[in-house]
Structure 1
Amino acid sequence: MAGPDWNPLRRVLALPNESRLKTVVMAFLVSAICAALVSGATVVLRPIQTANRAAEEQARIAALVEGIPGMAAILEQSGGTLSTVVIDLARGRAAADVTPATLDAALADPGNWTRLEPGQDLAGLGQRPNFAQIYLLRDGDQVSVVLLPLSGQGYGGRIDAILALRGDMNTIAGLTVTQHSETPGLGARIEESSWQASFPGTELRDDSGEIRFRVERGPASGVHEVDGITGATRTGRGVTQMVRFWLGPDGYGPLIDAIARGEF
């Protein structure tokens, strides 16, 4: 006569299908096996997912670049590819604990925003994030091009743009407006490539280091100016103040200084 079966699994399997214990145990086993399979798939697929995310990021950066007049040609001449990094704006350095993947979560925390006093708030933002994602092109150890996201208030609402600077951190390589609410036929012309084409070659600062950039009311008359838009003076002023704020000490100023010193 065979002795009792001490294998707990076989004992459970031998129970009638109507047994509550058998149902609970089988459900647990199925869940455990599925969890193990999912975990294993995650480990196996992680390198593929990482590569896909990197490819998607490069594609997104490339799309941004294509929207900036002359930028594709600049990158082609310079060689290399753009990289992205999150900047701690106050320090002008790469953020220690915030990455492109975690930036949105970081900025969801009100503690990661800085309130701007009226005298500081040239762009009319009220506050600015403590971190910003930028894009760099390097030529060896030197930064040859940097793409900086900007935002500010125009006549109809917020204006978002990407400003490209050459390696001297003073010459504009291009600008593209990515979002705005300006008046059709007037301020909305800031999205036209014909207007944005006046930015390349414009210098931000004079010999003393003071920011002199401005959108003129009419045709540009100096190296620090770009053409104005007829009937859209307030839109032009908004773009002027946006650029001056973000290139100043409360925006990317510390980063620009670090790049100019060869420290980034």
Structure 2
Amino acid sequence: MMSNDSTAKTLIVATILCVVCSVVVSWSAVSLRPLQEENKALDIKKNLLMTAGIVESTAQKKEIEEAYKQIEAKLVDLKTGEYVTDIKPSEYDANKAAKDPKRNYKIPSDEDLGNIKVRAKYGKVYFVKDGEETKSVVFPIHGKGLWSTMYGFLVLETDLNTVKGIGFYAHGETPGLGGEIDNPQWRAVWPGKKIFGENGNPQIQVIKGEARDASKFDIDGLSGATLTANGVTGTVRYWMGDDAYGPFIDKYTQGGGE
């Protein structure tokens, strides 16, 4: 019989303990995944609604789900600007599609203002409704800051040129510097600004220092976070440009809406 102090017995006990712990951790990860995915989806809905000015940051699940009934999502082919009708928007994951060579699009380097490199071929567009009337349009956007990929929403008035709001719900920018993109005071500068210049190209930009009062396109910079600010500019300009939502925006505005 092995001694309780033997090396072999110690190793056997340690091995059994490791196996049991691994099984428990694996089971927990698998069993909790649906709840994690549900909470992630709820958080994205909440941030969309907050950016659109529909709910406050204190909103809970019931209020979020009720408010989200005002949102109509559609899927758009970013190359043509046409709606995609054979896929339900709720069943389409742009992040997964961007990793699939059959469903993604490699962005030309001269077009890649957001330093994204590869995106999905299709993108979602969210319409904020009041009955049958569209009150605003929400575009999901993402692009590189200094340290991370920033994921957010850009809300436009129905002219698809006037900003109603912007918000980022996931990023890893430096707190107090690039993290200031979460600052409500900075986000409050965006409403009323214009996206497109007279030439039809995106002109909006986050500048160094304070914006001129008369400027329709300039957003106050982020002190000490120039690269993050440049990333926000590039991200917004890319997604509003011809290589992304531009064809849809043209069709929407020329066609008088949906």
Normalised to the residue count of structure 2, the TM-score between the two structures is 0.71
Shift of 1:72: 5.2
Flag structure 2 segments of 5+ consecutive residues without an equivalent. Answer: 1-38, 57-68
Q: How many residues align?
A: 202
Question: Could you tell me which residue of structure 2 aligns to residue 191 of structure 1?
Answer: 182
Shift of 1:60: 6.8
What RMSD over aligned residues (CA atoms) do the two structures have, in Å? 2.5
Is the Cα contact below 8 Å between 1:88 and 1:95 reproduced in 2?
yes
Pair 1:205–1:71, CA change in 2 (3 A): farther
Question: Could you tell me which residue of structure 1 aligns to residue 119 of structure 2?
Answer: 128
Pair 1:141–1:93, CA change in 2 (3 A): farther
Is the Cα contact below 8 Å between 2:52 and 2:155 reproduced in 1?
no
**Where do residues 53-64 of structure 1 align in structure 2 (5 Å cutoff)?**
63-64=46-47
Shift of 1:208: 2.8
Question: Could you tell me which residue of structure 1 aligns to residue 86 of structure 2?
Answer: 97
**Where do residues 99-118 of structure 1 align in structure 2 (5 Å cutoff)?**
99-104=88-93, 107=97, 109-118=100-109
Distance 1:242 1:61 in 2: 19
Question: Could you tell me which residue of structure 2 aligns to residue 212 of structure 1?
Answer: 203
Is the Cα contact below 8 Å between 1:113 and 1:129 reproduced in 2?
yes
Question: Could you tell me which residue of structure 2 aligns to residue 174 of structure 1?
Answer: 165
Question: Is residue 237 of structure 1 aligned with residue 230 of structure 2?
Answer: yes
Secondary structure in 2 aligned to 1:150?
strand
Flag structure 1 segments of 5+ consecutive residues without an equivalent. Answer: 1-55, 74-79
Question: Is residue 249 of structure 1 aligned with residue 242 of structure 2?
Answer: yes
Shift of 1:144: 3.2
Distance 1:121 1:59 in 2: 30
Normalised to the residue count of structure 1, the TM-score between the two structures is 0.69
- Give the aligned residue type for 1:225: D
Secondary structure in 2 aligned to 1:83?
strand
Distance 1:256 1:71 in 2: 23
- Give the aligned residue type for 2:88: T
Question: Could you tell me which residue of structure 2 aligns to residue 86 of structure 1?
Answer: 75
